[in-house]
Chain A
């Protein structure tokens, strides 16, 4: 402080030791725990993602170099230039140095100019959109689900729609590897973002606008599933807007697609006949989850479900019944948050079925209905 510095107090020394030891321990734990690899994005699975990864690596290593130099300079100055007992005279009053100022203006300018140029080169490549993509899909984002319309060669007509977005429910965006897939993004409600971490990519889904991007999955990734989710806050159920990308070999994809088209063109199953209601069950929904995921009713007898939606207004739910293959057997209207209703379902033959919220076809809102 004033005229001459005191000797270091013991309490200061203890605190310094705590600070240094803890920071070193945390750093060691970071490396020893394998988290250093986490400073890099996961391995990319698309050609575009590979390019982003190469660019990331360059940016990252330049950043590490700058960090070490500058942070090192700070630490060095702090250790080297501490005031020692007996230093009463003022240090030399340096006011600046023009050459140094020019140097640390010009050198960073060159570095960022280089980063801009390589970023721009990568950008032109990954943002390129083909006029005639091999596969064209329209992803429709809605609060709080994804669905995928597979488009015909004209790029407009929908061949069929994959309504279930995740693989664990038998759905997901199935795409062939090794070919150029174009994804068109639309939404009828609020802003969402299509994000698959292993694509190293996201693009907003903006109402009133159609965003388009291309990707090609590396052939080696056939058979893999890559999870993704909405990355732009879209309301209460933002977190449950999950999706999966299922990479398939070209031939498998063609077979899957043909089966889907056939399914879409098939005549819908006859609606089960209504009759006198046997049992009445009670189901509630809260936080975009059913309160029970397993129901049982007697065979060949109509039944009812007293359904209460305890989510906030704006979050719609319903209960549909689907066959094991995903065909919708009985479709019920949605109710708003805070409302309740009684759904009456027609008789079903014995077997295993799925009851599901058509607005949120996610695991928490997909249960099994056993009819016996």
Chain B
């Protein structure tokens, strides 16, 4: 009899643990592997950033004395952080949480889901293999031609081609993922889960998926044209033979600006789940928030050329106006978040701390971005460290803080164990201080004229102290990862058991066990609002409406 049991439903339990993880199509396991994979690349990208900060700590070339190697380092830092950390990390949370939050048993296409995941480490290995194959790409993460297309003038070795191949692979993974999300969200919602009862995170993943689906094929075309120029004698971007160097920038940013919203909208969604729980109030202005998200998605396609104001090849008034306007829906969200806190009862658990970090830092990233919407001011700021400050306030102060909020919030659901609060708060304090010490001085450096992407600067330029401060801050951020890793390792084994609903959550994932069973739910609560688990706990309409 023992032999016959191996072929029945419980067959999965007979596989070894590792084999099960490698072959799974369960969205929860895939989501967790997305998150773990993204964290591995986060640490690689972080180490690359430390190289850059170490070199810039003082004037003179100390560590990365080969400047071509320095160019590889910052190119890989940005490429890894954008394409292999933030975007897949948020996709990972979407993967884990979205089916649970809409009461679905899995994603619509579980096997495609697994394929999307496994393309990512493959892309990462191809990208970074340049380090052992004679040099990675070195033309910046934007890889503008002719620098990136005309090999003798830029980089040696196959690095740029590896970069192109890796990005096409990762982009394909994104496209497949976005289709999967869209079909899942439109076709697999539980009975009663109408569109306007969907949690905000689901809405942000929905809008993000539309952006990915519409924009990613466009950058793929740019990458293929670049590949043809480099390897097959093409002249798309070579002005000497009738091509146009600025064409690449238009096509590249047509994806890469919406990609900024891909990198931040799901993090906004995560914050919008966390703030109400720890404030014990619903999200203020749910519908306004949904419309603002859709508005950002739509406007996001009309602002790409604000990265190109100084090219002299852009219709400035249009892109300036649209860039200013996109601040409005973002502002609407900010006020909705704040008014979710107002008259609430705030409990300062680690997820809320990181969410508040998001609010206060993303605010700065929004405000200093508006400077560049003003074309004349952008003439002064473009391609200086001001821009480096701005983008890190958005992507680190915003998205990365959001990611950690999400990790602390959903770790109990994923593993059945709580993360330690004290270690979490130590991490938050170190990271918050380190972040501001690193990136705030960059505003001043940029205004005083320090360009991006330089390995060295003159001592007489007066940038020494602030660069040193930024470097100290960078290492402080790195130090904040120690309590985090320690926390994860310790809590996985010995963390407090979480129970189904440790935070008094609002959404459906808290109505099932931690971790949830295969196919997620044994039974679902009645869904009569965007907070079905709140309704189940307190009764629909509890606490009074206003």
Residue pair A94, B328 in contact (C-beta under 8 Å) = no
Name which residue of chain A comes closest to B241, CB basis.
Answer: A208
User: Chain B, interface size: which category?
Assistant: 35 or more
The answer to the question of A74 belonging to the interface, with a C-beta cut-off of 8 Å to chain B, is yes
**Does A206 lie within 8 Å of B312, measured CB to CB?**
yes
A154 proximal to B (CB < 8 A): no
In the complex, per-residue mask of B521-546: 1 if CB is within 8 Å of any chain A CB, else 0: 00000000000000000100011111
Instruction: Determine the distance from Cα of A361 to Cα of B436 in the docked complex, in whole angstroms.
Output: 39
CB-CB < 8 A to A112: which residues of B? 324-325, 327-328, 370, 373
Query: Using Cβ atoms and an 8 Å threshold, which residues of chain B touch A15?
Result: 425-426, 429
Asked if A73 is at the interface (CB within 8 A of a chain B CB), the reply is: yes
In Å, the complex CA distance between A122 and B317 comes to: 12
How close is B296's CB to chain A, nearest CB, in angstroms? 13
- Selected from B279, B320, B441, B546, the residue in CB contact (under 8 A) with A116 is B320
Per-residue contact bits, chain A 68-82, to B (CB 8 Å; 1 contact, 0 not)? 001101110110011
> Of A97, A197, A231, A236, which one neighbours B67 at CB under 8 angstroms?
A236
Q: Tell me whether A120 and B282 are in contact (CB under 8 A).
A: no
CB contact between A1 and one of B281, B282, B502, B542 (< 8 Å): that residue:
B502
Determine the distance from Cα of A74 to Cα of B444 in the docked complex, in whole angstroms: 25
Q: Are B449 and A51 in contact (CB under 8 A)?
A: no
Known contacts A81-B345, A100-B339, A236-B71: A115-B240 contact under CB 8 Å: no
A211 contacts the other chain (CB 8 A): yes
- A267 contacts the other chain (CB 8 A): no
Contact across chains for B310 and A204 when beta carbons are under 8 A apart? yes
Question: Is B367's CB within 8 Å of the partner chain A?
Answer: yes
In the complex, chain A residues whose CB is within 8 Å of the CB of B382: 202, 231
Return the chain B residue nearest A196 by Cβ. B449
Q: A11-B422, A105-B332, A108-B327 are known contacts. Are A63 and B371 too (CB-CB below 8 A)?
A: yes
Chain A residues with CB under 8 A of B279:
81, 91
Among B108-116, B150-158, B201-209, B253-261, the stretch in contact with A? B150-158
Q: Which residues of A lie under 8 Å from residue B324 when comparing CB positions?
A: 112-113, 115-116
Which chain B residues border A97 with CB–CB below 8 Å? 284-285, 339
A82 to chain B: closest residue by CB: B346
Given A19-B432, A95-B546; A206-B245 close (CB under 8 Å): yes
Is the C-beta of B482 less than 8 angstroms from some C-beta in chain A? no
Q: Contact: A83 with B345, CB < 8 Å?
A: yes
CB distance from A137 to the nearest CB of B (A): 17
A239 in contact with B455 given A209-B313, A313-B156 (CB within 8 Å)? yes
Stretch at the interface among A52-60, A258-266, A271-279, A321-329: A52-60
B408 nearest CB across to chain A (Å): 13
Residues of B within 8 A of A51 (CB): 376
The winner among B311, B336, B538 for most chain A CB atoms within 10 A is: B311
Q: How far is the CA of A195 from the CA of B450 in the complex (A)?
A: 10
Complex: A18 Cα to B476 Cα, angstroms: 14
Q: Once bound together, how far apart are the Cα atoms of A115 and B339, in whole Å? A: 26
Of A39, A40, A235, chain B has the most CB atoms within 10 Å of the CB of: A235
**Complex Cα–Cα for A233 and B73 (A):** 14
A1 contact set on B, CB distance < 8 A: 347, 349, 502-504
Q: Specify which chain A residues have a CB less than 8 angstroms from the CB of B320 in the assembled complex.
A: 116, 119-120, 123
Nearest-Cβ distance from residue A99 to partner chain B, whole angstroms? 11
The answer to whether A67 and B364 touch across the interface, beta carbons within 8 angstroms, is yes
- Is A52 a contact of B379 with CB atoms below 8 Å? yes
- How far, in Å, is B197 (CB) from chain A's closest CB? 13
Question: Which B440-483 residues have C-beta < 8 A from chain A?
Answer: 440-441, 443-444, 447-449, 451-457, 465-466
| Known contacts A77-B338, A78-B356, A313 near B152 by CB under 8 Å | yes
Residues of A within 8 A of B (CB): 1-2, 5, 9, 11-12, 15, 18-19, 22-23, 26, 30, 33, 35, 38-42, 51-52, 55-56, 59-60, 63, 66-67, 70-71, 73-75, 77-78, 81-84, 87, 89-97, 100-101, 104-105, 108-109, 112-113, 115-116, 119-120, 122-123, 126, 143, 189-191, 193, 195, 197-198, 200-204, 206-209, 211, 228-239, 287-288, 311-314, 336
Extra 5 A-B pairs, beta carbons < 8 Å, given A15-B425, A101-B285, A211-B312: A15-B429, A202-B382, A203-B310, A208-B244, A239-B67
What are 13 A-B residue pairs whose CB atoms fall within 8 Å in the complex? A26-B437, A35-B466, A38-B443, A67-B364, A70-B338, A74-B363, A119-B377, A204-B311, A208-B243, A231-B451, A233-B71, A236-B67, A313-B156
A-B complex: 9 closest residue pairs judged by Cβ atoms:
A208-B239, A197-B449, A90-B543, A38-B444, A83-B345, A112-B324, A119-B374, A96-B285, A77-B341
